[in-house]
Chain A
Amino acid sequence: MIDNNQLLRFTTAGSVDDGKSTLIGRLLYDSKSIFEDQIASIENTSKKKGHKGLDMALFTDGLRDEREQGITIDVAYRYFTTPKRKFIIADTPGHIQYTRNMITGASTANVATILIDARHGVIEQTKRHTFIASLLNIPHVIVCINKMDLVGYSEKIFNDIVSEFEEIASKMQVQDVRFIPMSALLGDNVVNKSENMPWFQGAPMLHTLETMHISSDINKIDSRFPVQTVLRPQTEDFIDYRGYAGRIAGGIFRLGDDVTVLPSGFSSKIKSIDTMDGQINEAFAPMSVSITLEDDIDISRGDMIVKSNNKPSVTQDLEVMLCWLNDAPAKPRAKYSIKHTSNLQKAMIKEVFYKIDINSLSRNLEDKDLNMNEIAKVKIRTTKPLMLDSYRENRTTGSIILVDDMTNETVAAGMLV
């Protein structure tokens, strides 16, 4: 691999049997990312199950329950590398609990791939998946129109599905959408260009993933540094060292920058940016560094260092699109722990404005009970102020989770409006 190769994370969504597992298997197989002993074990299982040839879908099977029941139950991660990029696939199942799983897999993705069975075109599930991709603000969407071999590789069918998709997508905020007609089973337009669809001018899926511009997926404008911990070595060489350790959540910081510490509001200048490999003059998201300031200010975990001329909002009242992830429904006015960057506070859901019916995408103003897999716009009040950006502007400083103190489980994920 070359030194400047980037890492691209993508997620896959589709209804059961659209060919998701086959597609991932095909990507791994054709890009030669599968080892011989894995192939041997798949050959074995394929034979036992009475499949002819290699069942590509088996490459992505994880745990025993799934192997036995033949289903995927949770998010599983796959890795492959080409001479151009390293890829992480978050493979999420399309059926029960799909919302919860897809949101989990999609939260850090650069790209969402949405599968459509060419025989069925855009269906309800496609709408939901596209909505979630838009809700999670995934920067790029690849619509894979699969099983083209079963519709005679028809250009007209492909074009019709593209129009249908554009129609539903126009009502949502999805960015950078691309369409690829393919046959995951036979390998057309996955890694290799299809000879059966000469009418398609675009690139196969892998080439698209290898070349799309992703450097701008992270906010490089609004500088945000949530403090994770304070480093005080108290050794002879670093007797007075007081470094603020964290991962830059947005923008760029440079030596000498005028910065403000929130929520206290004290100002200072950046004195040094340190790493074990030496001091650096500038650091940008998502680097993990340690920052020292010119002035002695009381700073601890949960505080945020920002540029003085560009601040997030500091507030206790949050408007959030909340996805409920737990079996136990939301308790009105109950207290939860809220986690936002390195900050942990208590919070209460003050009001449910409306729920979104994920099938019709309409607002439901009547029924305000929040159950597993449901999404609602809510108002949350926290015990102390948080430093917030809107999720559209910054996925790191615009996201929260809620934890139920009675069970310690993560019960909800939220995106700041």
Chain B
Amino acid sequence: MSKYYLNYLDELESEAIFILREVWTQFENPVILFSGGKDSILVTHLAKKAFYPAKIPFPLMHVDTGHNFPETIEFRDKTIKNLGVDLIVGSVQESINDGRVAEEKGKNATRNALQITTLLDVIEENKVDCAIGGGRRDEEKARAKERFFSHRNEFGQWDPKNQRPELWNLFNGKYFQGEHFRAFPISNWTEMDVWNYIKRENIDIPSLYFAHEREVVRRDGTWIPNSKFLKLDPNEEIVTKKIRFRTLGDITITGGDESDADTLEKIAIEVSGMRQTERGNRSDDKRSESAMEDRKRQGYF
């Protein structure tokens, strides 16, 4: 076989870099949606590659629910400093204080859905015309239909039945005033690809992904971390376990798995043997069959 072919990771990398450069040239004011999770870290790493030796020419944007893991915020601030780029923060707490949204009630209350309003508000305030996300098509069935360049109407909504056809590598990012786009450069990556690439490139990720001792409580078949937001039921008990997180969302709803995987090698091996999808531990996705699609239509990440 000739040596002039790319392996799958190099091909995915090249595709993502191409898309990031398209975003930069087709839009006035793009941002990377940075959650501190591995997918947005990966997108940021790829953006570094796309514009090297120049620095990333646009800001990172974080929608802060106020229910973060402290490690995530530390990691975010370190990343910003190293890259020398600006950070835009949208605060869900402020949206609540301003009466834009109301806090959910009850034991399983989360701020997950509230993020949509905050996100759309900061997009509008900052005149962002393209928000680059780390969404992947293998994550969830509603995401499987997502385009690389995904149009949002003036209400920030997605219309999955009426998407622009996307052919070859010709991306159409044209929009009318008030509308915006979401771009998903790692659409074609699977969870396994992400880990294999993070390992190959030795990308720095938050310590939460590695197995560590933590105070947790058993809830809905997963280990929910102890935090100042946690409301215990009488029959629930806090225990210390060695766990790691497969995805990072709010500390109130992100469950961990018991694990001994404390290096990237061990994580990659563990993930390759996993028999559950990564979002299986996220109570936000368990609410109904179409929970993700419903949120996405409204403007979710």
Binding site for B on A (CB under 8 A): 1, 3-7, 35-38, 41, 61-65, 67, 73-79, 81, 85-86, 88, 100, 103-104, 107-108, 213-216, 220, 228-229, 231-235, 237-238, 241, 243, 245-247, 252, 274-277, 284, 286-288, 290, 301, 325, 337, 339-340, 342, 395-396, 399-401, 403, 405, 408-410, 413
Contact = CB atoms under 8 A, between A and B. Distances in A.
A396 B1 contact: no
Q: Which of B53, B175, B190, B274 lies at the interface centre, i.e. has the most chain A CB atoms within 10 A of its CB?
A: B53
B299 to A, nearest CB: 16
B161 interface: yes
Q: Which of B24, B55, B160, B294 lies at the interface centre, i.e. has the most chain A CB atoms within 10 A of its CB?
A: B160
B138 interface: yes
A62 B144 contact: yes
Contact of A275 (B6, B22, B52, B174): B52
A281 to B, nearest CB: 12
Contacts of B61: none
Interface in B138-177: 138, 141-142, 144-145, 160-161, 163-170, 172, 174-176
A138 to B, nearest CB: 12
A28 to B, nearest CB: 11
Contacts of B15: 286, 288
Contact of A413 (B11, B167, B175): B167
A63 B145 contact: yes
B144 A229 contact: no
Pick the 7 closest A-B CB pairs, nearest first: A233-B54, A276-B52, A288-B17, A7-B8, A408-B174, A215-B5, A107-B167
Q: Which of B22, B48, B175 lies at the interface centre, i.e. has the most chain A CB atoms within 10 A of its CB?
A: B22
Contact of A6 (B8, B165, B188): B8
A237 to B, nearest CB: 7
B53 A235 contact: yes
A385 to B, nearest CB: 18
A4 B6 CA distance: 7
B169 A247 contact: yes
B265 to A, nearest CB: 14
A1 B52 contact: no
B276 interface: yes
B277 interface: yes
Contacts of B6: 6-7, 286-287
A284 to B, nearest CB: 5
Given A79-B137, A214-B5, A234-B54, 13 more contacts: A6-B6, A7-B8, A36-B276, A62-B141, A63-B160, A79-B138, A104-B166, A231-B52, A232-B54, A245-B50, A274-B53, A276-B52, A286-B15
B82 interface: no
Contacts of B51: 231, 245
B294 to A, nearest CB: 8
Contacts of B52: 231, 274-276, 290
Interface string B39-81: 0000000001111111100000000000000000000000000
Contacts of B176: 408
Nearest to B146: A77
Nearest to B149: A410
A38 B277 contact: yes
Nearest to B12: A7
B12 A77 contact: no
21 contacts: A1-B8, A6-B6, A63-B293, A74-B161, A74-B163, A76-B145, A77-B145, A86-B193, A100-B165, A103-B165, A104-B166, A104-B167, A108-B169, A215-B2, A215-B4, A229-B24, A231-B52, A233-B53, A247-B169, A286-B15, A288-B18
A167 B274 CA distance: 47
**For chain A, what secondary structure do more than half of its interface residues adopt (helix, strand, loop), or is it mixed?**
mixed
B235 interface: no
B289 interface: yes
B167 A401 contact: yes
A351 B28 CA distance: 35
Contacts of B7: 3-7
Interface string B168-208: 11101011100000000001101011001000000000000
Contact of B145 (A75, A108, A216, A286): A75
A396 B15 CA distance: 13
Given A5-B7, A62-B141, A247 B165 contact: no
A339 B171 CA distance: 8
B8 A275 contact: no
B161 A73 contact: yes
A197 to B, nearest CB: 31
B141 A220 contact: no
B252 to A, nearest CB: 21
B297 to A, nearest CB: 9
Contacts of A409: 164, 172
B4 A231 contact: no
A131 to B, nearest CB: 17
Given A36-B275, A408-B176, A79 B280 contact: no
A330 B290 CA distance: 37
B103 to A, nearest CB: 27
A169 B64 CA distance: 57
A199 B233 CA distance: 65
Contacts of A36: 275-276
Given A74-B163, A76-B145, A78-B144, A67 B275 contact: no
